[in-house]
């Protein structure tokens, strides 16, 4: 599973959460790695405005939640004919 977050671009410093005067990037962190391995983080999009970055983060996290729910439902139902 992945968690999507936003972060101010390197060299930019947001004065407050949601500062629209700086550009942001969307990052994806893999949470399903084992404890002995470092989690993997990828930059998905760069140079986004705050509203656009937040919309992407929300959409990606919603899709991850839907995907996880679907996998959980498939795993809880017995296989037909078994």
pLDDT value for 81: 54
pLDDT tens, N- to C-terminus, the chain (82 residues): 899 999 999 999 999 988 999 999 999 998 876 666 777 899 999 999 999 999 999 999 999 989 888 888 877 655 555 4
Q: What are phi and psi for residue 37, nearest 5 degrees?
A: -110, 145
SS3 2: strand
pTM comes to: 0.74
Q: Are 45 and 56 in contact (CB under 8 A)?
A: yes
Closest among 11, 3, 16, 2 to 50, alpha carbons compared: 16
What residues does each domain of the chain span? 2-71
Size (the chain), residues:
82
């Amino acid at each position: 599973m992945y968690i999507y977050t936003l972060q101010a671009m390197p060299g930019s410093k947001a004065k407050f959460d949601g500062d629209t005067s700086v550009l942001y990037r969307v990052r994806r962190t893999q949470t399903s790695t084992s404890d002995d391995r470092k989690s993997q983080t990828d930059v998905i999009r760069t140079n986004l405005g705050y509203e656009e970055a937040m919309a992407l983060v929300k959409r990606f996290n919603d899709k991850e939640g839907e995907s996880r729910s679907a996998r959980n439902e498939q795993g809880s139902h017995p296989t037909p004919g078994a």
